[in-house]
Amino acid sequence: MAADEVTIKVQRFDPAADSMPYWQTYKVQAKPGMTVLDALFEILNHQDGSLAFRFCCRAGVCGSCAMVISGKARLACETQVTAIRGDEILLSPLPHQKIIKDLACDYTLFFDRLKKVKPYLVGKEPYPEREYIQSPKERVPINEPIDCIMCGSCTSVCSMAWWSKDYLGPAALLKSYRFLVDTRDSIPDERLDIIESEDGVWRCHTQFNCVEACPKKLNPTEAIQRQKMKVFKRKLLGRRKKK
Ligand code: FES
């Protein structure tokens, strides 16, 4: 094997043709700065045109290329082949996802979960003629959660999300937190009702798998715990008011 040749093993599966997934091995000449996504294109364009994988921005922004790279959820476009230790690079789709083909997963359930938390700003009335003004201090709580690129890595490794398709999961709950702490939003109570439900924050068992998996180093577990506190606080205040 040439010194700069890397072995890449890809988990292949075509639900229309295969009864079981299987591993296929490819050899690629590593070039300086070559990412796993570059290597996949090398295979697609020069060795095997049947290989399926997702991508869009190629810059770590769209989240499309999330996959398991040698045992860890990562973005293929942000991971250099030289950064992976070991003799070979193993590529498989995000776990517990419906596979469309090879490394390409079906994100329908992921986005269904996301839609449930109303992942958009519901502005306060009267609506401003131009934008809503927010001070730098008010912006601080959303600085981190807005960096979520919705790659689905966190939800795919959450064992609570595996067992319950109705559980909102870490990505949707991080999104709900992002709007709950946004001073421009007008429906915090409605948002708390959604996350307080049976399939909301209380299903999180603080396993931190989502934190480990996030390629943007975000902390969905912390966002979920903060929302639990908000739900709890609302309950407590409601009880006090009734007395
Ligand atoms: Fe967009 Fe990798 S292709 S994040």
Please write the tens of the pLDDT for every residue from 131-148. 999 999 999 999 999 999
Going from the C-alpha of 28 to that of each of 71, 92, 94, 150, 205, the distances in angstroms are 20, 17, 23, 30, 41
226-240 average pLDDT score = 89
Instruction: Please give the pLDDT value at position 85.
Output: 82
What is the pLDDT, as a whole number, of residue 239? 65
Substitution candidate for ligand 1 out of 54, 77, 153 with most atoms within 8 A of CB = 77
Residue 4 pLDDT level (bands cut at 50, 70, 90): confident
The alpha carbon of 23 and the centre of ligand 1 are apart by a number of angstroms equal to 23
> What percent of the chain is predicted at pLDDT more than 70?
97
Whether 241 shows a pLDDT value over 70: the answer reads no
Closest CA to 9 of 84, 83, 62: 84
- pLDDT at site 2: 58
Residue with the two structure tokens 């979920």: 224
Report pTM. Answer: 0.92
Return the exposure string of 203-226: e unless at least 16 CB atoms fall within 10 Å of the residue's CB, then b: bbeeeebbbebbbeebbbbbbbee
pLDDT (tens digit per residue) in 70-85: 999 999 999 999 999 8
**Which residues approach ligand 1 with their CB closer than 6 A?**
55-58, 60-65, 75, 77
The 3-state DSSP class for residue 128 equals coil
CA of 31 to the centre of ligand 1 (A): 20
pLDDT in tens, 189-214: 999 999 999 999 999 999 999 999 99
pLDDT digits (tens, 9 = 90+) for 215-230: 999 999 999 999 999 9
199 C-alpha to ligand 1 centroid (Å)? 30
**Predicted local confidence at residue 160, as pLDDT:** 96
Handedness of CA 86, 89, 91, 94 (dihedral sign): positive
Average pLDDT over residues 123-127: 91
